[in-house]
Amino acid sequence: MLRKLIAEWLGTFSLLATVIGSGIMAERLADGNIALALLGNTIPTGAILVVLITVFGPISGAHFNPAVTLSFLLRKEISPNAAGLFVLAQITGGIIGVFAAHIMFDNPIFDPSTTSRTGVGQWVGEFVATFGLVGTILACLRARPDFVPMAVGLYITAAYWFTSSTSFANPAVTIARGFSDTFAGINPAHVLAFVAVQLLAAVLATLFFGWFLEEDTAEAT
């Protein structure tokens, strides 16, 4: 369990260091071009997910995401106690990852975001992003388990651009990004709604794909 928790902590730390660090770098180099800055934030995020899931998947399953952990809890593939410890590791790792990015780029270590991300459009974007992410993982585990790292990386890369919220799709990421007044930040006052929508989407995606994939298997046999 200790190795699993370290994997979840270090993986989420690395994910947030990448999300925030690449956001700062992209914004500085884009010279005011928001589309270019978003692209500069998107590519490293998708790429690091492939690496992290490949490296840590054999150790902890590479959740790095309370919504994913909740899905596996509902599927009874992780115990409640382990799930709680996973979520704690993910949240703390993510916050420290944000602080590490701030240090690297000479930003204030503790710098709560002022970026507004709220409203029905943003919440629907987060629901779609999280539902699709959980569905991608569950379906890929059934069809091509070896392809999960690439599938998740590609999905998040795409979802950055087709969702109104730029696809946080992760409560730990959302909480951590509240500590960063940078390109990738979110106002802490808007975090709770994002997290609620993400968890709801994770529950519904788990139920739906549990039914959907079971039906597919039954038809095949």
CA distance 187 to 194: 11
**Going by CATH, does the domain composed of 2-220 fall within 3.30.70.580?**
no
Residues 6+ apart with CB under 8 A from 187: 112, 113, 114, 115, 116, 117, 118, 178
Coil, strand, or helix at residue 106?
A: coil
* pLDDT tens per residue, range 196-208: 999 999 999 999 9
* pLDDT tens per residue, range 138-184: 999 999 999 999 999 999 999 999 999 999 999 999 999 999 999 99
pTM: 0.93
